[in-house]
Amino acid sequence: MEVCRIAEERLGPEGAGRLRVVALEIGDRAGIEPDNLEFCLEALLAQPPFGQGRPQLARVPGEDLRIEYLEVDDASPED
């Protein structure tokens, strides 16, 4: 849920963008099952305000779970 809260915060109160990717690094000793996390994130990111966001998970050494980056399409004509 915290990952989705952070992503929603990045999208802003108006939902002024569309979430494409949430990339996470998962430490191999973090106590998190990547397949379960991916399943949960897929379900959560399929709901508004995310719509079509997808998780991208990478295993790394250590105990941390961190958001590596959020890819957001802001629908700017400059893109």
pTM above 0.85, yes or no: no
HSE value, Cβ hemisphere, 13 Å, CA-based, for 27 = 8
| Rounded Cα–Cα distance for residues 20 and 61 (Å) | 26
Q: Which domains does the chain have, with CATH numbers?
A: 2-73 (3.30.2320.50)
Label residue 28 by pLDDT band (50, 70, 90). Answer: very high
Q: What is residue 7's predicted lDDT score, i.e. its pLDDT?
A: 87
Cis geometry, peptide bond prior to residue 49 (ω within 30 degrees of 0): yes
